[in-house]
Structure 1
Amino acid sequence: MKKILIGFYILIIIGIIICLSNSNIFDSKKSEAIAAGEKIYSKNCIFCHGDTGKGEGSKTGTALGSQNFLSSVSDKDLYNYVKYGREGTVMPAYGPRMSDKDIKNLVAFIRDWQSEEIELDAPKTISGDPENGKAQYNLYCLNCHGEAGAGKDKMGTALSNPQYLKYTTDKQIWIGAAYGREETRMGPSLKGLEGARQLKEKDITDIVTYIRSLEKK
């Protein structure tokens, strides 16, 4: 009986050692990916998105390091943004320029900026009145995002861009409009938050519906 117990305990100890070893291997690989991604970022992205990813680069760039943004997108979303870019803007498609591994390493580096996971509520169904959405957009969003979502240099994302609309969900657009990106000119718009705009949930839903209507079929 003692031999059986001793053998059982040995198996447990071996299992713990293997788990710890695998954990160290995982952490090591993650660290290597982040370090490789940082080099790629410094070479390709820093000029637009800035040292800390807050869009403070010398050229146009959105705030990738925003905790609100990182809490609303998956690694797959980030991968698609990098791979397919935004045609007609300064954001090129890096798919033809980078290997799959390079893009994944870059995503790992960007994800490492996330220091907290924020729960950002959004309606389960986002379907509103595009006409009211257009009116609200022209009143509150046009100055930065341009006529019909065309975007403005160093001001606002091109919301009607085909890649943006293809790889961004209605929920993500809603969250972006409602909660904004902290420490940027894109402040929150949802009523009750500390933003200059105080829009009802329905108004934001209507704006998102209007933006989605700009998608070319």
Structure 2
Amino acid sequence: MKKILYGLYIIIIIGIIICIFNSGIFSSENAKAVAAGEKVYQKQCLICHGDNGKGEGKNAGVAINNQQYLNSVSDKDIYNSVKFGREGTGMPSYGPRLTEKELNNVVAYIRNWQSKEIEFEVPKTIAGNPINGEKLYNLYCINCHGEAGAGKLKMGTALSNPQYLKYTTDKQIWIGTAYGRDDTRMAASLKGLDGVRQLKEKEISDIVSYIRSLEGK
């Protein structure tokens, strides 16, 4: 008898869960978060990242509305970028300015730009030679990202920034280098893709290892 009651209880719980999903409650809540996040974005982010998130704002701001970026970061990654900012750059920390709800809403708004799923081919282990990576960096990356990853205004991200290195994984740096970002200065670098640079996987790993070596410097 107990087993029958337990089975009925499980069926009822499953039925309730299915009803909740089918009711559209979650999609409705997400739509509200996106709408609220758009208001926060327009007030706080538009001036740098632009109306469409393409980095076309009046002030310097990177393009965050492209499928390579959106497919390589989690909601938590976007949240950290907004909350903690980038010390010494035009990207301030919004943690003291926005509530947790506002932070999560602007994340929902940015995530809403993602229109497709991309499967990146990335080495299981990203371990390279930072010395060779520095040579490659100075050959291919320094013009936009500056000496030792210092960054250049309206040109390239500050790769040696402590917040960037803390909240960006080697895999994400590898993807950004290999696959680039559509409609930005950052073209693909992986051999076989359309970019001018045709780097091997190992060479990209060397560059990532060099960038990681800048941490704490």
**Aligned partners of 1:210, 1:178: CA distance in 2, in Å?**
15
Shift of 1:81: 0.4
Say whether residues 1:151 and 2:151 are aligned partners. Answer: yes
Structure 2 unaligned segments of length 5 or more: list them. Answer: 1-7
- Number of equivalences: 207
**Aligned partners of 2:73, 2:21: CA distance in 1, in Å?**
31
Equivalent in the alignment of 2:98: 98
Say whether residues 1:183 and 2:175 are aligned partners. Answer: no
Change (3 A) 1:69 1:23: farther
**Aligned partners of 1:133, 1:175: CA distance in 2, in Å?**
16
Alpha-carbon displacement from aligned partner over 1:152-182 (angstroms, at most 9, x marks no partner): 0000000000000000000000000000001
Equivalent in the alignment of 1:28: 28
Equivalent in the alignment of 2:5: none
**Aligned partners of 1:17, 1:30: CA distance in 2, in Å?**
18
Equivalent in the alignment of 1:203: 203
Shift of 1:117: 1.1
**Aligned partners of 1:47, 1:69: CA distance in 2, in Å?**
20
Equivalent in the alignment of 2:173: 173
- Give the aligned residue type for 2:194: E
- Give the aligned residue type for 1:158: A
- Give the aligned residue type for 2:167: Y
Alpha-carbon displacement from aligned partner over 1:129-153 (angstroms, at most 9, x marks no partner): 0010000000000000000000000
**Aligned partners of 1:92, 1:18: CA distance in 2, in Å?**
42
Shift of 1:23: 3.7
Give me the CA root mean square deviation: 1.9
**Aligned partners of 1:142, 1:108: CA distance in 2, in Å?**
33
**Aligned partners of 2:131, 2:17: CA distance in 1, in Å?**
62
- TM-score, structure 2 length as denominator? 0.91
Structure 1 unaligned segments of length 5 or more: list them. Answer: 1-7
What SS does the aligned partner of 1:187 have?
Answer: coil
Equivalent in the alignment of 1:132: 132
The percentage of counterpart residues that share the same residue type is 69
Change (3 A) 1:17 1:117: closer
Shift of 1:17: 9.9
**Aligned partners of 1:148, 1:195: CA distance in 2, in Å?**
23
- TM-score, structure 1 length as denominator? 0.91
**Aligned partners of 1:145, 1:193: CA distance in 2, in Å?**
21
Query: 1:50-69 maps to which residues of 2 (within 5 A)?
Result: 50-69=50-69
**Aligned partners of 1:185, 1:23: CA distance in 2, in Å?**
44
